[in-house]
Homo-oligomer: A and B are copies of this chain.
Amino acid sequence: MVTIADVARHAGVAPSTVSYVLTGKRSISPQTRTKVRESIRLLGYHPHAGARALATSRANVVALVLPLRHGVHLPVVMRFVTAAVTTARRHDMDVLLVTADQGAQGLRRVAGSAQVDGFLVMDVELDDDRVPLLRQIAQPSVLIGRPAAVKGLTCVDLDFEAAGARCVDHLADLGHRYIGFLGAPSVVYQRNTGYAQRTMAGFGAAAMRRGIASTALPAEDDYESVLASVRSLLRTQPAMTALVVHNEAALGWVAGSLRALGRRVPDDVAVVAICPDELAEQMQLTSVQLPAEELGRQAMELLVARLNGHPAAPVTLLPPKLSGRASTAPRLRRA
């Protein structure tokens, strides 16, 4: 292995000089700098990460804590991940993957061994047992999602409540008076998942505000279940003319289910999805964007800022954005 001493010898300078060339923490004469740079290139030198971590108490690695469990839509997770990793790399940080199944236990281990400088935690539940731990450990953390008690935590999230409401408002403005809601698989609600519950709450409250009748049901992610849920919604509320869908995996089956039940989109039933824009675009659905990349990027930026000594930011809520597409149309009054 080629060490900093090798480089120093080769360039005819002291090891510390090489270090300073690398870190830029003190001024170096141009000649020395080029000489050192040349030696580094020639010898193919890379600083030993462990040694550096030991000397600086900084690993230049952040932990990315992922869900990977039932009911979370994996493509969406991947979007977060890509954005987070890309952003981390832009700040010369690497990313250690920690799966949620390792639990609070896993976090403690990683934190204790100083493997990482900070934590980016995805898919936080309303009452998450990792939160107390995150408050204890030495490293700062940023959450994607919001637990019930956010005091002192840095969180980034889509304003799901507003997102639910936005769907209702859009449909109400188009003249719809009976709206259904197709939610995530029921396990997601059982788990006390913030975003799912908040969307529901926002949806329900907005419907009340606008004097609109609403019915909601969860949906699993296979065709049969979706069909059953949609059928059940229509049976409960025969006058239903619009549907809000907050379930990426079910999305593909919704149009088919409605068709199978004799309803056409958007003429008989209008559909609004809450999902990543790309997915909505692909199926030509009116949708409220789930800005996964934006959330991942912002969360990582906040974490990096924190690591660089900036004060902890509180909760960042992204406002929902609705894009109109082919699946919604004004409700025609029938005489």
Contact = CB atoms under 8 A, between A and B. Distances in A.
Contact of A50 (B53, B77, B106, B252): B53
A49 B97 contact: no
A78 interface: yes
A335 interface: no
A296 to B, nearest CB: 12
A113 B54 contact: no
Given A54-B51, A109-B46, A252-B252, A97 B114 contact: no
B44 A50 contact: no
A244 interface: no
A22 B84 CA distance: 35
Interface in A5-55: 44-54
A308 interface: no
Interface in A81-126: 81-82, 85-86, 89, 94-99, 101-102, 106, 108-110, 112-115
A97 B97 contact: yes
Contact of A78 (B46, B68, B94, B138): B68
Contacts of A282: 221-223
A95 B94 contact: no
A82 B99 contact: yes
Interface in A236-287: 252, 256, 282-283
A136 to B, nearest CB: 10
Q: Which 10 A-B pairs have the closest CB atoms?
A: A46-B112, A50-B53, A49-B113, A50-B50, A74-B78, A74-B75, A50-B54, A49-B115, A95-B97, A222-B282
Given A44-B112, A74-B75, 17 more contacts: A46-B112, A48-B113, A48-B114, A49-B50, A50-B114, A53-B53, A54-B54, A61-B115, A68-B81, A74-B74, A82-B99, A86-B101, A89-B102, A94-B98, A222-B282, A252-B252, A256-B256
